[in-house]
Amino acid sequence: MKDTMIGVDLAKNVFQLHGTSLSGQVKFRKKLPRQKLLEFLSDQPPAIVVMEACGSAHYWARELIKLGHKVKLIAPQYVKPFVKRQKNDAADAEAITIAAQRPEMRFVAPKSEQQQARAVLFRGRERLIHQRTELVNALRAVMYEYGYAVPQGFSHIKRIKAILDEPDADLPGLVVEECRDLLEQIGEKSTRINLKTEKVKQLALKTDKARRLQTMPGVGPITALAVEAFAPEMESFKRGRDFAAWLGLVPRQNSSGGKERLGRISKAGQSDIRRLLIIGAMSRLSWLGRKSIPEGSWLFRMAARKPKMLVAIALANKMARGIWAMLTTNEDYRDPALAEAV
């Protein structure tokens, strides 16, 4: 029986621990160097260990679970209101235990090593894309200084190459040399991005979960990898709307006095999956994607009378709910419009 709760304020070198009973009575306060944390907790009877869901938290959660402890991770923004006056490590560790004892508190599921590995791959690809975009914008800025206005987008790089290859281009030799160097760097980034994209596609073929997710229109290997890497088990959500709310795809509320006021989407959840779902929804609303929308369906009626972005967000919300349903029932995607027709 775990009758002790230990709040751990994570750090790089020195950890602060705050142990209490489940009723809140303080048992110990202790400061430990990094090397002594596992040794100390291995000597403790099985307890509920609570940490903020921040850097290295998932690693420590896995290690403490091996020692027989029950680990809970809590979002830092839920801990902050419980910090008493002065902020320090001891106050933070105490606030973690106080917050965790609240019956309505929400916790973050610890990630497995495979989940974190997929997240590293996803982040690495995203980082390369941002670096390539920075290089492309730098190249466009140089060309603009000499009177060449090149539109945004990676696809217009060919236009810059054609300008540099023109024998009568009125550009100084040093500028041409620097632009070619930027083009070479952009090419290197593109090669590395393509390699990581191919690795993502291979990973998406290995798991049944990723394969199932890709049966939904607008969900590709990148989105499937993001769901695998960042989303907790779908059983932790009671219904699809809870998963959509976790992604920040529900309206922000400012309701009071019995009057319901809904605004734009909250954007209070996992940003990577939310962004990819909206991109996938936009692809279905493109001129090519619209051809596959059944006439008279909900999406067809929405697209006919509402702005494109609004429809995309509404569709992304439905996609999130569909993902929850698919993963909780272990079924492939079934188009609601086709089901109604049958």
What does the pLDDT look like over 155-198, one tens digit per residue? 899 999 999 988 877 888 899 999 999 999 999 999 999 999 99
**Statement: residue 32 has pLDDT above 50:** yes
Under DSSP, the state recorded for 1 is -
For the entire predicted model, the pTM comes to 0.85
Kindly list the domain boundaries of the chain, sorted by start residue.
Answer: 4-100, 113-206, 231-341
User: Quick one: what percent of the chain has pLDDT higher than 70?
Assistant: 98
Residues 67, 86: Cα–Cα separation, whole Å: 33
- Name 49's bridge partners: 6, 71
Task: Sheet with 26-33: list strands edge to edge.
Answer: 26-33, 14-21, 4-9, 48-52, 70-74
Nearest Cα to Cα of residue 228 among 257, 206, 198, 244: 206
What pLDDT is recorded for position 337? Answer: 59
**Statement: residue 139 has pLDDT above 90:** yes
Q: At what angle do helices 157-165 and 173-206 cross, to 10 degrees?
A: 150
Q: Could you please report the per-residue DSSP string of 153-192?
A: SGGGHHHHHHHHH-TT----HHHHHHHHHHHHHHHHHHHH
Both tokens assigned to 299: 């999406």
The pLDDT mean for the chain works out to 90
- 256 CB neighbour count, 10 Å cutoff: 8
Nearest Cα to Cα of residue 225 among 243, 202, 191: 202
For residue 286, how far is the Cα from the chain centroid? 25
Nearest Cα to Cα of residue 283 among 231, 220, 230: 220
Between the CA atoms of 126, 110, 101 and 253, what dihedral angle is there, to the nearest 10 degrees?
A: 40
What does the pLDDT look like over 58-79, one tens digit per residue? 999 999 999 999 999 999 999 9
What pLDDT is recorded for position 153? Answer: 86
Residues 177, 139: Cα–Cα separation, whole Å: 12
The third-level CATH classification (topology) of the domain covering 4-100 is: Nucleotidyltransferase; domain 5 (3.30.420)
Structure confidence at residue 341 as a pLDDT band (50, 70, 90): very low
Stated length of the chain: 342
What pLDDT is recorded for position 107? Answer: 92
What does the pLDDT look like over 79-121, one tens digit per residue? 999 998 888 999 999 999 999 999 999 899 999 999 999 999 9
User: For residues 279 and 256, which has the higher predicted lDDT (pLDDT)?
Assistant: 279
What pLDDT is recorded for position 302? Answer: 87
Both tokens assigned to 35: 């090397």
Sign of the torsion angle spanned by Cα atoms 277, 284, 336, 306:
positive
